[in-house]
Structure 1
Amino acid sequence: MVQQPSHLPSELATRSRWVRSLRPPVSRPGRETEPRVILDQEWETDGSLIHGAVVFLINRECPWSCVMCDLWQHTTPVPLGRGHALHQLQKAIHNAQQQTKTPLTQIKIYNSGSFFDTRAIYPEDHQAIAELLQPFQKVVVESHPTLVTHSAMAFADRLQPRLEIAMGLECAEDTVLHQLNKRFTLEDYVKAAKELKHSGIGHRAFVMIQPPFVRPEEALGLCLRTVDFALQQGADRVSLIPTRSAPGAMEALRKSGDFTQPTMELMEACLEGAIRQAPGRVYMDTWNLDSFGSCSLCRKERIERLVHMNQQQQILPGHKCPECS
């Protein structure tokens, strides 16, 4: 199933340097950059609609250099110090509340890395952050599985809202995880999930559709096996993420034949199969699907179908296109 990379460095430290060396020049945020905040609606597993906010904190760059990740563009090269994340959250929550009169019951805090990276969000700030988040019913943060330790459990104990931790599982194949430079194994993921379940903390899994180093004809099967693996570990929900090409390592892998961007047909098949496995708990990330170059005649209708399937958690009739069907 797994393709042997044509020129990916085998040694992890060398691979990380290779990934960073291919990054294009960009203007990165600084200490005074405002955190981005958007309003968000999410369907709960019982069918109810959750109104919330998503906050994208400015933090230091994640210490891992995953092959497919472009989130480094939204980070700083150095830590920003104690209190900075708290200050950003205060601003972001205020801005979110100004955008709507609807009460916000959920907040997702994404920092282009791990909430429990002690040089990104300082443990000394956890108590004040927990107090700031008390008005919400659910708090979602992201973390690398190996950082789900006593610090995560202690933060959950401080929170009145329910804590849910999002982890990038990506795929249930250790060889691919190693090639992606993820720096964890499936065993690490299982351990983290068990710790969360034991502590009453929820978790959601991010699953890649068509990761690098996987043959296109194997991508659907791998995606559905990964969804099944995540559910077996107690994931409350699974988000399917279509893998995007981007300048840097991913573009190099595309040119070398080690990565093929997923088609709309594959994305549809993945969501359909996942809904059959676990209706009410699987969702497609539909952000920027216009960029996936499918048929211009039916692209809009097909994306709308995916959105409605997310909402209804049912397999809806496919669109019959006179051009590409």
Structure 2
Amino acid sequence: MAVVTGAGQGIGAALARALAAEGARVVVNDINGANADEVARLLSEEGLQAIGEHSDISSFDGAEALMEAAVQAYGGVDILVNNAGILRDRMSFNMSEAEWDQVIAVCLKGTFACARAAVRHMRRSGKPGRIINISSRSGLRGSIGQANYAAAKAGVLGLTRTMSREVEKYGITVNAISPRAVTGMTDSVPDAVRRKKDASWSDSSVVLRGSPAQVAPAVLYLASEEAQWVNGQVIGIGGDKLSLWTHPRETVEAYSFGGWTLQKIRELFRPTFGSELQSVGNKD
């Protein structure tokens, strides 16, 4: 039994369809009830098992209501895909408090609220569980005009790594996916910014940004029994490319016995860290 949030369109709808096609009974959650119901209707017409659900997952109560609806409909929660997200793009120095709060509430708090509620049900069932959080390259590398979204998606990565360690003893895995796909949400990005991103993603031999459906195989694998050994990881997928992101780690280190002073840092910082800082700054 699978729950997919933000599944009324785009990547979420594609993931709901893929899971249903593999035999999962799917709860299609979206705050836009008409969209959720339409996706569920289309899947049902194809002989697949799906229902629409409209809870606002940006609150603990809404997330719990979603899980309760899944339990009532299908008897439990085995798989949770935290896909719900919104954009409120603006340069950080012009961003309003509402624009910040709205994105954090859906993308970060909503991810945690649903994962928290799902784990509680998974633990009670005693069966293995899968939580798959949808993050973003904005959270991994930063993105101009997306301070709110990048902060939320970076938070999702920290949440993924922490919860994976907390719940592995219950047979529950928690992983994240960083997709690259053209969706209705990406269409809201200003044309100039999108053109710049498209240019940076171009490659002579491979497609680096694909369709929502092309994200689904990574979700299906992480949701499968054979992926029990994969936990706390960040998988990138888009178009022709599949990648594994490292955990944050120290790339260069130095020691000053007795502690550091401002003068010691001045003398050693550039020769010790300079080349690494420049190479990181030049990476996509």
Rg (Cα) greater in structure? 2
Shorter-chain-normalised TM-score: which range?
A: 0.3 to 0.5
Q: TM-score, normalised by structure 2?
A: 0.39
Q: TM-score, normalised by structure 1?
A: 0.35
